[in-house]
Amino acid sequence: MSLQPVLDRIDADLPAALERLMDLLRIPSISTDPAFKGDCDRAADWMVADLASMGFDARKCPTPGHPMVVAHHKGPEGTPNLLFYGHYDVQPVDPLNLWHRDPFDPEVQEENGQRVIRGRGASDDKGQLMTFVEAFRAWIAVHGALPCSITVFLEGEEESGSPSLIPFMRDNAEELRCDLAVICDTGLFDSRVPAITTMLRGLLGEEFTIRGPNKDLHSGSFGGAAINPLRVMAKALASLHDETGRITVQGFYDDVPELPDDLRAQWQGLAFDHEKFLGDVGLSLPAGEQDRTPLEMLWSRPTCEINGMWGGYTGAGFKTVLPSEAHAKVSFRLVGQQDPFKLREAFRDHIRAHIPADCTVDFHGHGAAPASVMPVDDAAFEQSRAALTEEWGIPAAYIGCGGSIPIAGYFRDILGMNAMLIGFGKDDDQIHSPNEKYDLDCFHKGIRSWARILARVTA
């Protein structure tokens, strides 16, 4: 099954593919607002019909929330089975007055010499999921078959916390389990370089309260002799980083791998514009470990951040109170094999070591999830990278992601599958904001990228 006729077919069919996307974008499938429940259902129906029309065994699966769409297409014997994930629901559109036209009346607009598809969901995630759907369509149109077995798994609750996702995956594990999950919900690096996201940081959240005197005291009567929990808290929090920005919690870096040389070289090659990255938020100096590049800080290094702290008198004017309590919320982004449960204890020990005999501290744990590091030694990663490089004319990169994308962890933990994250969004797509758009070029090259990836992975 040769690739070139598939690519030609994609080019020729682009206007029709665009019409299909516009049709899907017209369905206001806002998952978080009950008023649009019928529209979410309609979007699922649309997907089922479209996938069935090209020969997929497709069905809408009810859940307590919005339905899932699951579709299968059998490939030749001995070929791998790939699962493609996307979501058909979209973000709410308010504030509506900031939109330049109806969010659900999409339009292709000319902008700075680029053609963009403007409308809610164009980039997140309807435009993106349709890149793989259109690639399948072209392949089937040309060859009458797909080069491998494909499962399509679409969710309708991604923008509202995915409450049905884990139970559904658990209940349908056998049906969903494939050789590899492919997630199309990420972007190009720097709006320019095709990328596979292979590292996602984990997260550990902690909250604590330091208590000293058994009531609020007057700083005139007690100041100097009575311990002030705010002072204890400042010392404890200040101790979490040393002068070079390293985190001082005992054993914190034990399970943090050094970045492999090839990845380091690749990332250096990305020529990340950290001046612009920080400049956009009014900053100029990277604040993390001083011997790391900004990209390393964001993608491959763990962090410790104070997310909230409070205590004493915080209103207008002044009150010379020596308060009874002080509070803080602290979170860690985790990488490599860092164990959130082990580090939770190490963090608590660290704070306890800064609590004087006259104070007590109580902890309350929030979320705890380890980092995801995708095993790029799976051949599909290098094959996909080559395919992306070929299509975009720029060496594709393995990149990290500072945040967490829970679905990748679910595929691993519930279904035992690796996940490969590839997408074609740009930083200026304004997802979750008014006037969302998706570049027509990203849509087109995205479709072609999947065709090439299918060809490489099944070669």
**Which parts of 312-331 interact with a copy of itself (CB under 8 A)?**
312-314, 317-323, 326-327, 329, 331
Burial code of 254-282, b = ≥16 C-beta within 10 A, e = fewer?
ebbeebeeebeebbeebebebeebeeeee
Task: Judge whether 332 and 204 are in contact, CB under 8 Å.
Answer: yes
How many chain residues bind a copy of itself (CB under 8 A)?
78
334 binds a copy of itself (CB under 8 A): no
459 binds a copy of itself (CB under 8 A): no
* Residue 360 CB contacts under 8 Å (≥ 6 apart), including other chains: 210, 211
Alpha-carbon distance of 453 to 381, in angstroms, equals 10
345 binds a copy of itself (CB under 8 A): no
Q: Residue 209 Cβ, how far from a copy of itself at the closest point, in Å? A: 12
Of residues 187, 288, 423, 446, which one binds a copy of itself by CB under 8 A?
288
198 binds a copy of itself (CB under 8 A): no
Task: Judge whether 21 and 126 are in contact, CB under 8 Å.
Answer: yes
Of residues 16, 98, 271, 306, which one binds a copy of itself by CB under 8 A?
306
* Residue 379 CB contacts under 8 Å (≥ 6 apart), including other chains: 457
At 98, list the tokens: 């900031």
- Quick one: 18 exposed, middle or buried, by C-beta within 10 A (0-12, 13-18, 19+)? buried
220 binds a copy of itself (CB under 8 A): yes
170 binds a copy of itself (CB under 8 A): no
Q: Residue 396 Cβ, how far from a copy of itself at the closest point, in Å? A: 22
What size, in residues, is the chain? 459
Q: Residue 125 Cβ, how far from a copy of itself at the closest point, in Å? A: 18
Nearer to a copy of itself, 213 or 434 (CB): 213
264 binds a copy of itself (CB under 8 A): no
218 binds a copy of itself (CB under 8 A): yes
Nearer to a copy of itself, 151 or 228 (CB): 228
- Distance, CA of 59 to chain centre: 27
Alpha-carbon distance of 271 to 373, in angstroms, equals 22
- Letters for 426-455 (x = contact with a copy of itself by CB under 8 A, - = none) are ------------------------------
Whole-Å CA distances, 90 to 84, 126, 150, 425: 18, 8, 24, 15
15 binds a copy of itself (CB under 8 A): no
226 binds a copy of itself (CB under 8 A): yes
Alpha-carbon distance of 194 to 181, in angstroms, equals 19
Whole-Å CA distances, 239 to 184, 232, 304: 41, 11, 11
Nearer to a copy of itself, 68 or 334 (CB): 334
Alpha-carbon distance of 15 to 116, in angstroms, equals 13
Nearer to a copy of itself, 26 or 211 (CB): 211
Cα first-last separation, the chain: 9
Query: Which run of H or of E encompasses 149?
Result: strand 149-155
Nearer to a copy of itself, 294 or 434 (CB): 294
Of residues 1, 277, 369, 389, which one binds a copy of itself by CB under 8 A?
277
- Letters for 77-116 (x = contact with a copy of itself by CB under 8 A, - = none) are ----------------------------------------
Q: Which of residues 390-419 bind a copy of itself (CB under 8 A)?
A: 401-404
366 binds a copy of itself (CB under 8 A): yes
Nearer to a copy of itself, 173 or 238 (CB): 238
343 binds a copy of itself (CB under 8 A): no
The secondary structure of residue 242, as a DSSP letter, is -
Q: Which of residues 232-251 bind a copy of itself (CB under 8 A)?
A: 233-235, 237-241
Of residues 12, 96, 265, 283, which one binds a copy of itself by CB under 8 A?
283
